[in-house]
Structure 1
Amino acid sequence: MEGALDLSALFFGLAGLAYGAALLFHLIRLPKRRQAATGLDWIFGLALGFSAAWAVLGAWVARNGAELAPAFLPALLDGLRYGFWFVFLISLMRASGGAAWSQALRCLSGSAALLCAATLISVWLREYGAEPYSSWDRPLAYLGLGQALMGLVLLEQLLRSSQGDSRWGVKPVGLALGAVFVFDLYAYSQAALFQQIDGDVFKVRPLVHTLAVPLLFMAMLRHGDWLSKLHVSRVAAFHSATLLIAGAYLMLISAVGYYVRYTGGGWGRAMQIAVIFVALVGFATVAMSGAMRAKLRVYINKHFFSYRYDYREEWLRFTAMLSSQSSPQALGVSVIRGIANLVESPSGGLWLRQAGDGEYRQVAVWNRPVQTEVETADSSLLRFLRERAWIVDLDEYRQAPQRYEGLSLPNWALADSACWLLVPLVVGTELTGFVQLGHPRTRMDLDWEVRDLLRTASSQASSYLAQMQATEALLDARKFEAFNRMSAFVVHDLKNIVTQLSLMMKNAKRLRDNPEFQEDMLATVENSLEKMRQLMLQLREGEAPHGGGSGVELQPIVERLAAAALRKGRELHLEVRAGASTRGHEQRVERVIGHVVQNAFDATPEDGEVRLVLDVEGSNARIEVSDTGCGMSEDFIRTRLFRPFQTTKTSGMGIGAYESFQYLQELGGKITVDSQVGHGTRITISLPLLRASKQSDLGMLSAK
């Protein structure tokens, strides 16, 4: 027993030295901060002082008993130091919370004061009252449990409210006091539940409290104004109130459970288990209830703050919800939920103007059935929303319709008892649509603050919806533009095929009995049919002709072009200096080169010359087409040659040169033009070479 007393005295002594050193250090620093010292510094010093006195007196009593000091004094000082730590934490929040938080602080201050006063009175009555000494053990255990819980509530609120630099300074204090409160919560809850004080737990209690002192030193070393930048937010108040209610509820259920156990006779323990289980199920049900959370949130905002909303938090959350969606349907649901959350509404629908007929239809719903009704643009409801941009309270309209002069609500709105508000979505002077909201989870007054926030949020939401609609319209326009451009390419190629067939039919009257002409005509028709089939595939698929790009030999292409020109009665002077291959679609490559050759023939008289040279230059295949025709001006080449629908021909469409230029860019090639009016033109096409090794590199491994 003597060893146990010595060990307890040792732990109390260590705690006394640690808190005494912290108090001395704090007092030494005060003169250096004379101008900046505040009431918080003195309260902090008093809390350290009473903690040191508690530890020193506890060591004395543990060592010498109650010879020179009453045994109840350590318990009395323990309650006093708890009280000063509560005052210190509440003063931090009062220094930063302002008038908006004064009501909440008064509530917390009153609760903390009652706990401390009840603890001190109970300690005094245990020592000098008429009741037996041991009968006060359980009430004091419950009071200690309440003090530890209150300390954790204050700390949780303090840490949630601190941001940036203030959290950096407050964190050590929070960790230090949090360790003290958590250990005491464990110690006193065990004593309250089992009606027996664990001597080992309370023996090491001073040592655990001593371990918090280095964190207090760290907090004092960081900076002196570590308490001045705190801001108590609505979120912190909500969580603190929830934690306080939950703690009080659990303590009440614990007390009821033990009362049932010790008064229920043989069924006491079974009834206790049943009561606790039912209470926990009920608590979980209430905690998960959105209506209960809404009621608590509205109550706190209404009674503890000057304004109903934390506008910064609401605006950031609303904007983040709108920005996170990319599809129109998802954005519609986000608009409903974002506006509904502002007034605790659990359901809603979004009506938007349709682009085709200008009618308004429901395009998205959230937690409510879909409505198929249609509102025309000239209906009374839409005229009212467009002209006045008012938020329509359907409950108010049902009771006093004269307040909404000129408004006649449709039957679908009046018959729906779950419908509460109609919030217009206006962009400029245009009514994009409106949001239909269901009744809130808890009663909410639709005052000026709520209406202003709803108008601001609806304005932001309508701009997002208008931007989404404009983006969709732009995408559709681009798709039509791409389709029209592709159609122009196809029509241009069909024109060339029609020209080729027309020429063949013109010569058929004169050469229809010629076997060679008949054979050539069949080949031409077959080739034209294949080209038209490829064009149809291209028009249907919206991309390149059917089949992937592959290696294309250029020499057969230029030879076919020379033979086709010869059949038309023109001569293409062909010079193949080196064979070359490139990557692409053979028919499209042939069409590009053929277009350049055909333009050269069109610009050159029959007695002129058109020449094609195929060569290799570096890593590119070079096709050079030159003629002695009329040539082009430099201004035409620079501003019109490769632009769509620009041509010098009376029957041309101005698509061929543009298509050739676009396709060459896709292949990584380029086209250059050198022309002089009256002297001819030279067009050079460069295409990347496709090099294929005819012998595997692995064959080199067997070389000697």
Structure 2
Amino acid sequence: MGLTVGYLSFATATLAYLGLAVFYLLRGRWGGHGPYLLAAALLTAAWGALSLLGHEVIPRYADASLLLQQLAMVAWVWLLWHIIASLEPHRTKFPRRLILGWAVVIALTAATGVLLPTHLVADPGWPQLPLVLGLAIAVLGLSLTETLYRGYQPVDRWGVKFLCLGTGGLFAYDVFLYGEGLLFGVLDPDFLEVRGFAQALVAPLFAINIRRSEMRHFALGLSQRLVFGSTVVIGAGLYLALMAASAFYVRSVGGAWGSAVQIVFLFAAVLLLSIILLSGAFRARLRRFLSHHVLQNKYDYRGEWLRFTERLARADSAETFDRRVVRALADIVDSPAGALWNVSETHLSIAAGWNVSSGSIVDLEIPPLVSFFGAHDQVWEIGETAALPDDAPSACHDLVAALRRIPDAWVLIPLRHQDRLVALLLLTRPRSGQGLSPEDSELLQVASHQAAGYLSEQRAAGALAEAREFEKFNQRYAFVTHDIKNLVSQLSLMIRNAEKHGDRPEFQRDMLATIQSAVGRMNHLMERLKTDVGAEEVDAVAVKPLIEQLIGEQQSNGIAVGFECPQALATLQLRADTRRVDAILRHLLQNAVDAAGSDGRIVVGLRREKSCAVIEVRDSGNGMDLQFIRNELFKPFRSTKRGGMGIGAFQCRAYARELGGDLEAISSVGAGTTMRVTLPVLREA
């Protein structure tokens, strides 16, 4: 063979992998896998360059070229193993396989890096060692390629498909090269010369995969059925035998370039076969053929059911649940697209679309639709040649006409749960172009019942969450309403006192301060209606000045309130929200005033217990019995006051607990009441 073929081959490989390395540095986003790809590409380029330099005088660099060639293939093995090993921590089923894999890869790397150079330099007498190592690396690489590809779910294999095609091509070529070498005792020089072309052919596949290089972790997928896999293997073998015969003919008539063209032809044929086998349409048509002519049942029901339930229950999926329902039912019949509509009282609202652009469907009479599909539990084919039964209402015909405007609309599946129509689901025609068989219809119908149950639970959970949001808002509204009532009571008392003391400057100053405080509190109440009750900021609250301010407001209204506080706690600060502490103490003081009356005695006490401040509001009123305290006092909407709302004690305890403290009542009939509040302390006084 002329030297021109070798020069072109090695030069092409060198340029291809140097370009791949540059492309990765400019565009790659492979994270921790990137350095392995870069090392493999650069080693392959170095092998091509060294082979190119030594091609004219073959013995000059033959040993170094062989060493670089096998080191480059070991680098590709490390790339594949690094990706596989990064997936394994997300699977807890195969720790032994992971340990064994590390041992094999490290052992083969050591053999290539230590034994092979020793053999090439010292020539210990085993000439087959380079051939055995080369074949072992190639077989391991093919095994890792297959493991990586099957380690992803079919829908997620787009991220590694071209990487596996590229590495599969590299290692498959070396299996032929070293396999023949072991058979005849020497490497075929034609295979060696054209190896650069083979390496360059797969470089674009790595470039494509770099653009899809956002690596994610997924669960292991299900294996192919035995019959399907065996058919694929037999068919691929027949195809390769035919291509080999064609390549032999090309070689026999190709002259000086015949051997090179034969090798490139065979490699291209294998690459084309790999692309065909990865085609979803091809697999769908093959399954259809097998189900009609070989298998007793069209479906592997256990496998289909496991795949269906796994997709619906996949909690880590980024898809919405509605879209997972569409895809789970579509996968059963190899449908490439679908859509789901919720059934409301007035129209069909779009819930999810998969490879389908569709919106809500309006201008339909929903009650007849619900009645018809509720009474007919089956899968409906809605193609151009399909027809609904004569008793179908006009609304059903209008719906089918609207759905037929979607390209390749095929079947309509009512999702019913407990005799209630939950949703309607559309699937487009399968990749194989098949019609709806009774076996398809029965399996889709059973699966739709399961999906409808999941959908109903999901809708119920959503409605419950929405109801809880309304409950939280209603609680905020009740709290605000109660606080407004207290403000009205305070302002009413101030107006009554103004008739007696309005001409006194001291009273006027107190009245103005009370009005300003009331305005600030009302503005804060309006803000609380817009935000969650737990949204206030926690800050430092100087508790003694706050209590003295509240006592002063009561005394300005002619009510005497005592205050017991050790001097050491004069600067005590709470880790709380000022407005909430103010609301708690203000309510407890007002309740004490109402219980004790104008002639009663009210005392506020402040002390410290470990990391908490204890505030007690004691009154000399009639008190409460233990049963009332346990069963009524802290329940919402329970009140013994005329005109009371029954919110105050419940609100105060809720505030105290949200701040990390608590509120308790200590009382007995005829002995007065002590309301004890505990709140966390910010720092030492």
TM-score normalised over the length of structure 1: 0.62
8 Å CA contact retained: 2:381, 2:412: yes
Does residue 1:440 correspond to 2:454, yes or no?
no
SS of residue matched to 1:433: strand
Distance 1:534 1:399 in 2: 65
Task: Give the distance between the partners of 1:233 and 1:623, measured in 2 at CA.
Answer: 68
2:579 maps to 1:565: no
* Distance apart, 1:505 and its partner CA: 2.7
- Does 2:673 align with 1:677? no
Higher-Rg structure is 1
Matches within 5 A, 1:463-478: 463-478=453-468
| Counterparts of 1:537 and 1:455, CA distance in 2 | 52
- Alignment match, 1:622: 614
Unaligned runs of at least 5 residues, structure 2: 1-138, 151-171, 188-221
Per-residue deviation at 1:400? 5.1
Separation of aligned partners in 1, 2:553 and 2:177: 103
Note closer, same or farther for the CA distance 1:260–1:613 as it changes in structure 2 (3 Å cut): same
CA separation of 1:399 and 1:687: change in aligned 2, threshold 3 A? closer
Residue 353 of structure 2 is aligned with which of 345, 365, 374? 365
Aligned residue number for residue 588 of structure 1: 580
Q: CA deviation at 1:346?
A: 0.9
Q: Which amino acid aligns with 2:180?
A: Q
- Structure 1 position 298, deviation (Å): 2.5
Identify which of 251, 259, 268 aligns with 1:261.
Answer: 251
Whether the 8 Å CA contact 1:381–1:409 is kept in 2: the answer is: no
Q: In the alignment, which residue of structure 2 is the partner of 1:198? A: 184
Deviation at 1:388, TM superposition (A): 0.8
Query: CA offsets per residue over residues 184-210 of structure 1, 9 Å max, x none?
Result: 98599628xxxx960479xxxxxxxxx
Residue 667 of structure 1: aligned partner = 659
Q: In structure 2, what is the Cα distance between the partners aligned to 1:692 and 1:541?
A: 32
CA distance in 2, matches of 1:605, 1:249: 102
1:480 and 2:470 are equivalent in the alignment: yes
* CA positional deviation for 1:478: 0.6
Q: Could you say if the C-alpha distance between residues 441 and 618 of structure 1 is closer, same or farther in structure 2, counting changes exceeding 3 Å?
A: closer
Q: Is the 8 A contact 1:360 1:377 kept in 2?
A: no
> Match for residue 346 of structure 1?
336
User: What secondary structure, in the 3-state scheme, does the structure 1 residue paired with 2:397 have?
Assistant: coil
State which of 252, 275, 278 in structure 2 corresponds to 1:288.
Answer: 278
Call closer, same or farther: CA 1:686–1:372 in 2, change over 3 Å.
closer
Map residues 130-529 of structure 1 onto 2, 5 A cutoff: 190=180, 198-199=184-185, 235-265=225-255, 268=258, 272=262, 275-276=265-266, 279-280=269-270, 282-325=272-315, 330-354=320-344, 357-374=345-362, 376=364, 378=366, 381-395=369-383, 398-399=385-386, 401-402=388-389, 408-410=396-398, 411-416=401-406, 418-529=408-519
CA distance in 1, matches of 2:532, 2:175: 72
- Preserved contact between residue 393 and residue 420 of structure 1 (Cα < 8 Å): yes
Query: Aligned in 2, Cα 1:305/1:486: closer, same or farther, shift over 3 Å?
Result: same
The answer as to whether partners of 2:595 and 2:621 remain within 8 angstroms in 1 is yes
Q: Alpha-carbon deviations, 1:38-85, whole Å to 9, x = none?
A: xxxxxxxxxxxxxxxxxxxxxxxxxxxxxxxxxxxxxxxxxxxxxxxx
SS in 1 for 2:679: strand
Query: Could you say if the C-alpha distance between residues 399 and 549 of structure 1 is closer, same or farther in structure 2, counting changes exceeding 3 Å?
Result: closer
Residue type of the alignment partner of 1:198: F
CA distance in 1 between partners of 2:243 and 2:363 (Å):
55
Q: How does 1:105-116 map to 2 (within 5 A)?
A: none
CA change 1:404–1:271 in 2 (3 A) is: farther
Q: CA deviation at 1:633?
A: 2.1
Deviations 1:312-335 (A, max 9, x none): 211111111111258997111111
Which AA in structure 1 matches 2:565? V
SS in 2 for 1:621: strand
**Partners of 2:378 and 2:441 within 8 A in 1:** no
CA distance in 1, matches of 2:446, 2:547: 68
**In the superposition, relative to structure 1, how do residues 371 and 489 fare at CA in structure 2: closer, same or farther (>3 Å)?**
closer
**In structure 2, do the counterparts of structure 1 residues 656 and 319 end up closer, same or farther at CA, with 3 Å as the change threshold?**
same
Runs of at least 5 residues in structure 1 that lack an aligned partner in the other structure = 1-148, 161-181, 202-231, 694-704
> Which of 526, 545, 548 pairs up with 1:556?
545
**Alpha-carbon offset, residue 684 of structure 1:** 2.2
Deviations 1:534-561 (A, max 9, x none): 2222222223475x21222222122222
Structure 2 distance, partners of 1:514, 1:327, is 72
For residues 480 and 365 of structure 1, the distance between their equivalents in structure 2, rounded to whole angstroms, comes to 30
Q: CA deviation at 1:474?
A: 0.8
**What is the percent sequence identity of the aligned residues?**
37
Q: 1:607 to 1:370 in 2, by over 3 A?
A: same
> Structure 1 pair 596/352, CA: closer, same or farther in 2 (3 Å)?
same
- Shift, 1:345, TM fit: 0.9
Shift in CA distance, 327/280, structure 1 to aligned 2, threshold 3 Å: closer
Matched, 1:643 2:631: no
Q: 1:644-685: CA deviations, max 9, x gaps?
A: 111111121111111111122223323332222233212222
- 1:598 Cα deviation (Å)? 1.2
Aligned partner (choices 618, 623, 632) of residue 624 of structure 2 = 632
Query: Contact 2:613–2:681 at 8 Å: present in 1 too?
Result: yes
Q: 1:660 to 1:371 in 2, by over 3 A?
A: closer
The AA in structure 1 aligned to 2:553 is A
Cα-to-partner distance string for 1:138-182 (whole Å, 9 max, x where unaligned):
xxxxxxxxxxx9xx99xx9xxx9xxxxxxxxxxxxxxxxxxxxx9
Local SS of the residue matching 1:569: coil
Q: 1:468 to 1:329 in 2, by over 3 A?
A: farther
The aligned residue for residue 537 of structure 1 is 527
Q: Aligned partners of 1:631, 1:678: CA distance in 2, in Å?
A: 6
1:607 to 1:527, Cα distance in 2 relative to 1, 3 A: same
Distance, in Å, in 2 between the alignment partners of 1:189 and 1:252 is 20
For 1:281 and 1:403, locate their aligned partners in 2 and report how far apart those are by CA, in whole Å.
Answer: 54
Q: What is the CA–CA distance in structure 2 between the aligned matches of 1:262 and 1:185, rounded to whole Å?
A: 24
Q: Matched residues in 2 for 1:326 and 1:633: separation? A: 54
Say if 1:492 and 1:655, in contact at 8 Å, map to a contact too. yes
Report how far residue 271 of structure 1 moved. Answer: 5.5
1:639, distance to aligned residue in structure 2 (A)? 0.5
Q: Distance in 1 between matches of 2:456 and 2:365?
A: 17
- Quote the Cα distance in structure 2 between the aligned partners of 1:463 and 1:479: 25
Amino acid at match of 1:361: S
CA drift at 1:445 = 4.8
Distance 1:383 1:315 in 2: 29
RMSD (Å), alpha carbons: 3.4
CA contact (8 A) 2:414 2:423 kept: yes
Alignment of 1:52-67 (within 5 A): none
* TM-score using structure 2 length: 0.64
Matches of 1:403 and 1:236 in 2, distance apart? 45
Separation in structure 1 between the aligned mates of residue 406 and residue 535 of structure 2, nearest angstrom:
56
Pair 388,494 (structure 1): closer, same or farther in 2 beyond 3 Å: same
**Which letter does structure 1 place at the counterpart of 2:249?**
Y
CA deviation after TM superposition for structure 1 residue 582, in Å: 2.1
Query: Using a 3 Å threshold, how does the CA distance of structure 1 residues 637 and 249 change in structure 2: closer, same or farther?
Result: same
- CA distance, structure 2, for counterparts of residue 530 and residue 559 of structure 1: 19
Whether contact under 8 Å (1:535, 1:545) holds in the other structure is: no
Cα distance in 1 for residues equivalent to 2:259 and 2:417: 67
Deviation at 1:288, TM superposition (A): 2.9
Shift of 1:233: 8.2
